[in-house]
Amino acid sequence: MSAKKMNSLQAVNAALHQAMAEDDKVIVLGEDIADREGGGVTGATAGLSTKFGDDRVKSTPISEQAIIGAAIGAALAGYKPVAEIMLMNFTAVAMDMIFNHAAKLRFMSGGQSTVPITIRTLTGAGWQTAGQHADHLEGWFAHAAGIKVVAPSNPVDYKGLLLSCIQDPDPCIFIESAGSLFIPAEVPDDLAPIPLGKARVVQEGTDVTIISWSSQVIRCQQALAPLAEAGISVELIDLRTVSPWDKEAVLASVAKTGRAVIAHEAVRHFGPGGEIASTISEELFGQLKAPVRRLGAPYSPVPFAKVLEDAYIVSPDQVVETVKALMA
């Protein structure tokens, strides 16, 4: 079996090429995505318009509502559009199309309408892009019944989960996060689609379960060595899909360890960690050895100054300290 070393953006590009080659109903649209415009600001869509033509791969004006609307309409007519919203904060401009339409048309039509769109969107702190270019907004979309929210952490998952999103019969938000984009890994050429809603156990352990997703998984991985040195056995779960989330995997792990920490890059206040922590407490109250802890960004916009941005992101040290405190 052959494999190629690639980063997560290259994995996205490979998934798009594969999906378009396998299914001529897959079409792609977004700002600057065609090769004439440079193949996307991150290069994630490079080569697609040259290979599959300008009808199936369309650069758009800077019109987020029109982009998502066009994706929805084409989906209603049998296509599987992959729309790029350049940055996750710009989904705010298209929220009516995403929240009131893409998410709800199946339900409101009694199952007649199906909206199999994938919205790829880039975000994440770490590049000093400040308050309107870096928010992790998965909680917004997880709160909207009818949308799946996918947030991979590594090149294999980026490719395998994107393939699943594109073929999924429901709308998916696919989050490409700054902190996870450039760490290369071997990705099999014939990688099978990775099912949505299934978590991955990054490391098995017996003392504490850490639940995370997207770039925060990498910062949790960096906490594993110091925690092992401290004699703490950590089970790290990469949720991969934020909604619907893999409740079974999380509860099974916490039932074993009796301790849980949820770590995410999104703001902690009303963040997705609250839902997961609450479910753990409801389901496993008697088995918990310590209160469930949540780690997330402070209740603040993403800042510009490097010193502030560093403080904004949940660091590996914070993960280490929080886990150690749970064991004390």
What is the rounded distance in angstroms from the CA atom of residue 93 to the CA atom of residue 173? 15
- Under the criterion CB under 8 A, does residue 314 sit at the interface with other proteins? no
Q: What is the CA radius of gyration of the chain?
A: 20
Q: Determine contact, residues 153/214, Cβ cutoff 8 Å.
A: yes
Q: Which of 101, 133, 136, 264 is catalytic?
A: 133
Q: Could you tell me which stretch among 108-116, 187-195, 200-208, 256-264 binds other proteins (CB under 8 A)?
A: 108-116
Q: Could you tell me which stretch among 11-19, 84-92, 102-110, 126-134 binds other proteins (CB under 8 A)?
A: 102-110
Q: Determine contact, residues 5/185, Cβ cutoff 8 Å.
A: yes
Site track 166-205 with other proteins (rule: CB under 8 A), x = hit: ---xx-----------------------------------
| Assigned token pair, 292 | 């469930």
How many residues form the binding site for other proteins (CB under 8 A)?
42
Using CB under 8 A as the binding rule, the residues of this chain from 45 to 84 that contact other proteins are: 55-56, 58, 60-61, 63-66, 68-79, 81
Q: Could you tell me which stretch among 5-13, 92-100, 134-142, 284-292 binds other proteins (CB under 8 A)?
A: 92-100
- Under the criterion CB under 8 A, does residue 165 sit at the interface with other proteins? no
- Under the criterion CB under 8 A, does residue 113 sit at the interface with other proteins? yes
The nearer residue to other proteins, 168 or 238, going by C-beta atoms, is 168
Burial readout 103-139 (b: 16 or more C-beta within 10 A, e: otherwise): bbbbeeeeeeeebbbbbbbbbbbbeebeeebbbbbbb
Amino acid at 292: V
- Under the criterion CB under 8 A, does residue 279 sit at the interface with other proteins? no
Burial readout 297-325 (b: 16 or more C-beta within 10 A, e: otherwise): beeeebbeeeeebeebbbebeebbebbee
- Under the criterion CB under 8 A, does residue 286 sit at the interface with other proteins? no
Residue 137's SS3 state is: coil
Active site (annotated) includes residue 17: no
What is the rounded distance in angstroms from the CA atom of residue 136 to the CA atom of residue 258? 28
Q: Annotated catalytic sites, by residue?
A: 133
Which residues form the interface with other proteins (CB under 8 A)?
27, 55-56, 58, 60-61, 63-66, 68-79, 81, 96-97, 100-101, 105-114, 145-146, 148, 169-170
